[in-house]
A and B are shown apart, each in its own frame.
Chain A
Amino acid sequence: MRKAVSLAVSTLLLAWTAGASAQQLENPRTDYTAYTRPKGRVSLGLLKTDLGIIDEVTIGTYPLPWLAFPLLKSTIPNVYAKVRSPWSGPLTLAIAGSFLFVDGKAIAQLADKSASASAISTTAEFDASYRFDHRFSLSVGLDYARLRAVGGKDDEATSVEGASSGHTYSTRLLGEWRLSRVFALSLLFRYLIYQSPINVDTSSSDSAVTVTSNLSAESTIQKHFTLVPGVSFEWERWELNAGVGYGVFYLPALGLATAKSWPVVDLGFAYRFDIYH
Chain B
Amino acid sequence: MKASLLICFCAALVGCSGAADIPDTPDLRELLANYQAPTASLDATSAAQALKSAPALEDLEQLSAGFQAAQSVMDDVDQASSASSASTGSRIRLQGKIGLEIRCPGELGNPTFDEKVNGSISLTLAVADTQIRRSFGGEAKACVLRGTLLGNPAKIVLDGPIAFDVGNNIGIGSRWSGEFLAQLPGTLTVLDHEYRGISGRFTHGRFQYLITLDDGTIVLELSGDGGITILDHDGAWLCHGSEPCAKQ
Interface residues of A (CB under 8 A from B): 165-167, 169, 193-194, 196-200, 202, 204, 207-221, 259-260
- Rounded to whole angstroms, the CA-CA distance of A205 and B17 in the bound complex is 29
Does more than half of chain A's interface fall in helix, strand or loop, or is it mixed? strand
Does more than half of chain B's interface fall in helix, strand or loop, or is it mixed? mixed
- Rounded to whole angstroms, the CA-CA distance of A260 and B76 in the bound complex is 34
Residues of chain A within 8 A (CB-CB) of B19 are 196-197, 199, 216, 218
Q: Residue B79 at the A interface, CB < 8 A?
A: yes
Given contacts A197-B20, A215-B84, contact A209 B103 (CB under 8 A): yes
Q: Say yes or no: A219 contacts B91, CB within 8 Å.
A: yes
Q: Residue B33 at the A interface, CB < 8 A?
A: no
Most chain B beta-carbon contacts within 10 A, residue among A204, A211, A216, A219: A211
Minimum Cβ distance to chain B for residue A204 (Å): 6
Q: Residue B97 at the A interface, CB < 8 A?
A: yes
- Rounded to whole angstroms, the CA-CA distance of A205 and B93 in the bound complex is 24
Residues of chain B within 8 A (CB-CB) of A165 are 18
Q: Which listed residue (A194, A210, A214, A215) contacts B13, Cβ 8 A?
A: A194
Q: Say yes or no: B103 contacts A216, CB within 8 Å.
A: no
Q: Say yes or no: A204 contacts B101, CB within 8 Å.
A: no
Minimum Cβ distance to chain A for residue B98 (Å): 4
Q: Residue B100 at the A interface, CB < 8 A?
A: yes
- Rounded to whole angstroms, the CA-CA distance of A210 and B14 in the bound complex is 33
Q: Say yes or no: A219 contacts B93, CB within 8 Å.
A: yes
Q: Say yes or no: B84 contacts A213, CB within 8 Å.
A: yes
Q: Say yes or no: B92 contacts A218, CB within 8 Å.
A: yes
Q: Which listed residue (B76, B88, B103) contacts A217, Cβ 8 A?
A: B88
- Rounded to whole angstroms, the CA-CA distance of A216 and B20 in the bound complex is 5
Residues of chain B within 8 A (CB-CB) of A208 are 76, 102-103, 105, 111, 113
Q: Say yes or no: B93 contacts A217, CB within 8 Å.
A: yes
- Rounded to whole angstroms, the CA-CA distance of A233 and B83 in the bound complex is 50
- Rounded to whole angstroms, the CA-CA distance of A213 and B6 in the bound complex is 35
Given contacts A197-B20, A208-B113, contact A213 B97 (CB under 8 A): yes
- Rounded to whole angstroms, the CA-CA distance of A207 and B14 in the bound complex is 41
B121's nearest neighbour on chain A, judged by CB, is A209
Given contacts A169-B13, A208-B113, contact A214 B100 (CB under 8 A): no
Minimum Cβ distance to chain B for residue A120 (Å): 15
- Rounded to whole angstroms, the CA-CA distance of A178 and B104 in the bound complex is 73
Minimum Cβ distance to chain A for residue B143 (Å): 12
Minimum Cβ distance to chain A for residue B149 (Å): 23
- Rounded to whole angstroms, the CA-CA distance of A217 and B130 in the bound complex is 9
Q: What is the size category of the interface that chain B forms with chain A? A: 20 to 34
Minimum Cβ distance to chain A for residue B218 (Å): 37
Residues of chain A within 8 A (CB-CB) of B16 are 167, 196
- Rounded to whole angstroms, the CA-CA distance of A134 and B80 in the bound complex is 62
Q: Residue B99 at the A interface, CB < 8 A?
A: yes
Kindly list 7 other residue pairs between chains A and B, CB separation below 8 angstroms, not including A208-B103, A213-B84.
Answer: A169-B13, A196-B17, A198-B18, A209-B76, A210-B101, A211-B99, A214-B97
- Rounded to whole angstroms, the CA-CA distance of A167 and B83 in the bound complex is 25
Residues of chain A within 8 A (CB-CB) of B99 are 211-213
Q: Say yes or no: B101 contacts A167, CB within 8 Å.
A: no
Q: Say yes or no: B100 contacts A211, CB within 8 Å.
A: yes
Q: Residue B40 at the A interface, CB < 8 A?
A: no
Residues of chain A within 8 A (CB-CB) of B79 are 209, 211
- Rounded to whole angstroms, the CA-CA distance of A208 and B113 in the bound complex is 6
B125's nearest neighbour on chain A, judged by CB, is A213
Given contacts A215-B98, A216-B96, contact A199 B91 (CB under 8 A): no
B98's nearest neighbour on chain A, judged by CB, is A213
Q: Say yes or no: B102 contacts A216, CB within 8 Å.
A: no
CB-based closest 3 A-B pairs: A215-B96, A216-B20, A196-B18
Most chain A beta-carbon contacts within 10 A, residue among B88, B96, B103, B127: B96
Given contacts A169-B13, A209-B76, A209-B79, contact A215 B100 (CB under 8 A): no
A-B contacts, 21 of them at CB < 8 A, read A167-B17, A194-B13, A194-B14, A199-B18, A202-B83, A208-B103, A209-B76, A209-B100, A209-B101, A209-B102, A209-B103, A211-B98, A213-B98, A213-B127, A214-B96, A215-B96, A215-B98, A215-B127, A216-B18, A216-B19, A260-B91
Q: Say yes or no: B18 contacts A217, CB within 8 Å.
A: no
B80's nearest neighbour on chain A, judged by CB, is A211
